Amino acid sequence: MSLATTTPAARAGAQDEYEQFCLAFRRVCGIDLLQYKRGQMERRIRSFVSTRHGDTTLPAYAELLKADKDELSRFLDRVTINVSQLWRNPEQWEVLEDKILPDLAASGSNRVRAWSAGSSYGAEAYTLAAIARRAIPRAQVTILGTDIDGRMVERARTGVFTTEDARDAPTATLASHFAMEDGRWHASAELKRMVRFEQGDLLRVQPAKESFDLVLCRNTVIYFNEDVRDALHGRLAESLRAGGRLVVGATERVSEPAKHALEPESPFVYRKI
């Protein structure tokens, strides 16, 4: 078919095919790809399928995912966002260590309940645990990490990270809380007691109101549709107690924070009113 004969009807058919694929994929593993920005996600999926299986249609590929667990695992690696590292965005961790954690501990009876939302393989949660031991060593700190990908949750529970994961970590702090064994960094028993991990879909989770003092949801919502992103920020805000903090990615913003009883405290930190 020439470019001139690619009609609107043909394009609509391709869109229907994509939607059918997303519905079939949701039945396979529960992940709703229709909630993500379509342009980015569809390009990623079609490129992956084309590279591995030539001109296979998306409905045919959905059938393959049902039957082949190894293929499903490879596809999940492609479409789920598992980019992370220890001490990612160091400037944010400095603010958390120097200001936010001490303030939360002081205003919360020396207790801090934190949630790493979209925690991937746990680097964020373990980093938070390490800086909490430095910033508020006498406080009772509990950290929940949740991620949609069960494989990442199991990996997070091991508390083991590569040297590449630790490339931006401050050397002295890293050595204080992680041990180098077999070429990888292993979180200390102390850190592992502070964190727990559960599988959970941010697009469906309904956390209890005022159940956290600190919520970190960084570098995740940029992949969601605008309405989905705003609804998620609303649920995250509801989970914070008054005076609690929501920390987003360095390039992310909460749209209309006042609508969610939030006020900007810094470019990436919002305080619950």
Q: Say which CATH number the domain at 160 has.
A: 3.40.50.150
pLDDT (0 to 100) of residue 82? 63
Distance CA 215, CA 270 (A): 10
25 and 107 both lie in a single domain? no
Cβ within 8 Å of residue 194, ≥6 positions away:
129, 132, 141, 142, 143
123 and 36 both lie in a single domain? no
pLDDT (0 to 100) of residue 15? 57
How many Cβ atoms are within 10 Å of 150's Cβ, its own excluded? 13
What are the backbone angles phi and psi of residue 149, rounded to the nearest 5°? -95, 110
Query: Domain for residue 85, yes or no?
Result: no
**Which of 36, 8, 11 has its CA nearest to residue 22?**
36
26 and 126 both lie in a single domain? no
Q: Which of 29, 55, 79 is the last residue of a domain?
A: 79
74 and 99 both lie in a single domain? no
29 and 139 both lie in a single domain? no
215 and 102 both lie in a single domain? yes
137 and 209 both lie in a single domain? yes
65 and 45 both lie in a single domain? yes
Tokens found for residue 246:
């929501």
**H/E segment holding residue 52:** helix 38-53
Coil vs helix vs strand at 153: helix
Query: 120 lies in which domain range?
Result: 90-272
Query: Domain for residue 258, yes or no?
Result: yes
* Structural domain count, the chain: 2
Cβ within 8 Å of residue 249, ≥6 positions away:
89, 218, 219, 220, 221, 222, 268
Distance CA 71, CA 76 (A): 9
**H/E segment holding residue 260:** none
pLDDT (0 to 100) of residue 32? 83
What are the backbone angles phi and psi of residue 268, rounded to the nearest 5°? -130, 10
Q: Which of 37, 53, 79 is the last residue of a domain?
A: 79
Contact 1, 14 (CB under 8 A): no
**Which of 121, 135, 72, 112 has its CA nearest to residue 214?**
112
The pTM of the full predicted model, rounded to 2 decimals, is 0.79
36 pairs with which residues across the strands?
A: 224
Residue in this structure with the two tokens 């992370």, named with its chain if needed: 84
108 and 234 both lie in a single domain? yes
Digit-coded pLDDT (tens) for 3-26: 333 334 344 444 579 899 999 988
pLDDT (0 to 100) of residue 35? 78
Residues of the chain falling short of pLDDT 50: 1-14
238 and 263 both lie in a single domain? yes
Q: Which of 79, 103, 128 is the last residue of a domain?
A: 79
**H/E segment holding residue 147:** strand 140-147
37 and 120 both lie in a single domain? no
pLDDT (0 to 100) of residue 208? 95
Query: Domain for residue 84, yes or no?
Result: no
72 and 145 both lie in a single domain? no
Digit-coded pLDDT (tens) for 85-112: 999 999 999 999 999 999 999 998 999 9
